[in-house]
């Protein structure tokens, strides 16, 4: 996926944060179903764990798009059928990256609202 600020101002309200996939274990995942008209899909929530490492990107501008990994079939979790974590495979790619906006308590009270877009992409190589 590609996430991008679409405002002319740097993001101050609800910046993007990402969790390091190497710090997520299978027991941290909660699977939930998404019901569509023609199928049922699955996705994950993450349980809070002290070992999770988060990174955030303050004041991102329009010319700083972020690439997010939605799923990697070569990732450790994908290769193990969900039984082992990406951390179990040192040097292997993460299967996916948890990401979210968050409430930055240090943001100015008069900061403009965040305007952003996230686009799903498929990359085959």
For residue range 50-88, list pLDDT tens digits in order. Answer: 999 999 988 999 999 998 887 777 766 666 665 555 555
Q: What is the mean pLDDT of the chain?
A: 85
In a domain, 45, yes or no: no
Residue range of the domain that includes 60: 2-24+55-119
CB atoms within 10 A of CB 92: 17
pLDDT of residue 106: 93
In a domain, 66, yes or no: yes
In a domain, 79, yes or no: yes
Query: Kindly report the CA angle at 41 between 122 and 72, in degrees rounded to 5?
Result: 35
In a domain, 50, yes or no: no
- How far are the Cα atoms of 21, 35, 115 from residue 6, in angstroms, in the given order? 27, 30, 6
Q: How far is it, in rounded angstroms, from Cα 41 to Cα 32?
A: 8
In a domain, 69, yes or no: yes
Residues 43 and 123: beta-carbon distance below 8 Å = no
CB atoms within 10 A of CB 15: 20
């Amino acid at each position: 996926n590609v996430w991008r600020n679409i405002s002319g101002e740097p993001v101050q309200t609800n910046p993007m944060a990402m969790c390091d996939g190497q710090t997520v274990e299978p027991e941290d995942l909660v699977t939930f179903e998404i019901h569509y008209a023609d199928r049922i899909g699955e996705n994950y929530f993450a349980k809070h764990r002290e070992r999770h490492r988060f990174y955030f990107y303050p004041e991102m501008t329009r010319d700083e798009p972020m690439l997010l990994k939605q799923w990697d079939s070569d990732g450790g979790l994908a290769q193990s059928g969900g039984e082992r974590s990406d951390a179990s495979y040192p040097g292997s790619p993460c299967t996916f990256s948890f990401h979210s906006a968050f409430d930055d308590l240090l943001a100015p009270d008069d900061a403009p609202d965040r305007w952003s877009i996230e686009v799903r992409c498929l990359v085959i190589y």
